Amino acid sequence: MTAVPKSFRWSVALVMGVGCGGNGKGGAAALAPEVVYVSEMASDGNGTLARPFAQIAPAIQAVREGGVVVLSAGNYLEEVAVDRAVTVTGVDRAGVVVRAIRVGAVDGAVISNLTVKGGEPGVIANGARLTLDGVAVEGAGGVGVSAKGGKLTMLGCAVRATRGLAQDGHGVFMEGGEIDVRSSDFVANEGRAIYLRGVKGDVVANRVTLGQSGIAASSASAVRIADNEIDLPRPTHITQVGVFIGEAKAVVEGNSFRSLSTAVMLGSGGDAIVRKNRIIGGENGVTIVNGVATLEENDFADTTDRAISVQTPSGVTILRKNTIARAGASGISVYGAIGVRIEENDVSATKLDSSGLLGFGVYALYAKIETKGNRLTANAGGGIGLHKATAVVDGDTIEANDGPGVMITELPAEYEAVSIANVTTRGNLGVGLLAIMARARVVDSRFDSTRFDAAMGVGDGIAARAAEVTAARVTISGSAGNGVFVAADSKIEMSSSAIEASERLGMMAACAAIVTLTDVAFRANRLGDRNPCQ
């Protein structure tokens, strides 16, 4: 049997205590309105424990304001109307069933320890300050719990199998007002588990499973979504989003997401801090579309597509101290965005996409980004990929990737040259820095131990093809191919740098290439320092 709520136990204790210890002057009769009883099996009752009401409605009218209506086990077919600040509680959540509950604009109604089954919707509250404590809402039509204005508090509730009608099968739908939902279960609802429009409040420590989507906030909502578990094994024909923020502000922290199409999505006007979440499996981790966000200290593992995707944000987006492992396609992707700062992230073991492409730790297209202090290791496509995009790359460590450490291709003329400073690339496959139809400025960086890519026939520290590269205070060491390769249609300027221990030439430059070297040291390159025509 489900435990009886504290409010009910306290009220019953009060009645029994005064009844036993009173002065014999009608104490029991005077206190009777504090607690009124209802039993489905009763007839012609007056609400006492000995003679309970048979229906809930007269009990609500008979009890004192702030009093308790106690429901015995039974299947009550009523749509319960609560228009007074009272508590309606069942003796056993599974054993006390009502069809629906309707709460008017009352201040302080409490419904506890019962099941609402089959109503359309299950619970409606308009302008009420309502608490649902240990209530189950099952098989409702349209919405499990619908609230407009006021304040809705849900503690230890369960909303299951809400059916989609005109209002799309949401577990909870609230428009305006305040909300506090904690320690509740949302299971197999056909719409969103919780959908908030213009609402302020907290959604904390809940569990969402087997439904269409998780938690959504829009229309100027301001919410904290924390410590929830959202696990929605995905049918192939359904797009599931764990948390959606659109035209709202939110803090999304400490949640666990599994098996979703997208764990967190920011739509137009979304503004969120997303931190310390754990995202495992599913397709996409966090997707930002025309929103603004700070993502920090999140843990991503085994997404089949992008762990983080930023698309045309409307302001500065910061990605900081996230850990990303084994993402598909790319760890962090930026499309058409300006002002994305990527700082101190750890991205490893990103896989190639289904076409055998991408696989970068960080990838940008038609974008302007800043990277600083990231660690990019063992990614299948390379460390950083910039296609028709520019970046300020500062202090990143890029190691053991199965592709170029940094690859820049087709940089638009109107974009500034890619700036690379204080970067270490080590043990990457094919090229440490590859520039194709691009411009790059490199300072205070190292390109070490580039591995030979047999398929491409290259293993160069720096390679320029139809590109312009300026390098100062750069060390290129231990390349399996050439230290530097410069194609005929390219230009390179190097100063105060060293090229050493290459397996081929220190610098292989086509005769038509433009090469300017100032104070560049060549040491121990196996086939010599430079080719003859240079």
CB-CB contact of 1 with 93 (8 Å): no
Scan for tokens 């998780």, then name that residue: 214
Separation of alpha carbons 141 and 456, rounded Å: 61
Cα→Cα distances 487→253, 404, 521, Å: 49, 17, 21
pTM over 0.85: yes
In total, the chain counts a number of residues equal to 534
Are 280 and 302 contacting, i.e. CB atoms less than 8 angstroms apart? yes
Please confirm whether the linkage preceding 121 is cis (ω < 30° from 0).
yes
Pairing of strands 397-399, 375-377: parallel
Strand runs (DSSP E) across 237-388, as ranges?
Answer: 241-246, 249-253, 256-258, 262-266, 271-275, 278-280, 284-289, 292-296, 299-301, 308-311, 317-320, 323-325, 330-335, 338-343, 346-348, 360-365, 368-372, 375-377, 382-387
DSSP string, 432-473: EEEEES-EEEEEEEEEE-PBPBTTTTB-EEEEEES-EEEEEE
Question: Which neighbouring-strand residues pair with 405?
Answer: none
Q: Which residue type, as a one-letter code, is found at position 180? A: D
Is 411:434 a contact under the CB 8 Å cutoff? no
Residue-level pLDDT, tens digit, the chain, 534 residues: 344 444 444 344 333 333 333 333 344 435 547 999 999 998 888 999 999 999 999 999 999 999 999 999 999 988 999 999 999 999 999 999 999 999 999 999 999 999 999 889 999 999 999 999 999 999 999 999 999 999 999 999 999 999 886 558 999 999 999 999 999 999 999 999 999 999 999 999 999 998 888 999 999 999 999 999 999 775 544 568 999 999 999 999 999 999 888 999 999 888 999 999 999 999 999 999 988 899 999 999 999 999 999 997 667 899 999 999 999 989 999 999 888 999 999 999 999 987 777 899 999 999 999 999 999 999 999 999 999 999 999 999 999 999 999 999 999 999 999 999 999 999 999 999 999 999 999 999 999 999 999 998 999 999 999 999 999 999 999 999 999 999 999 999 999 999 999 999 999 999 999 999 999 999 999 999 998 776
CB atoms within 10 A of CB 394: 19
Structure token digits, residue 211: 């439904």
Please provide the DSSP assignment of 112-123 as one string. ES-EEES-SSSE
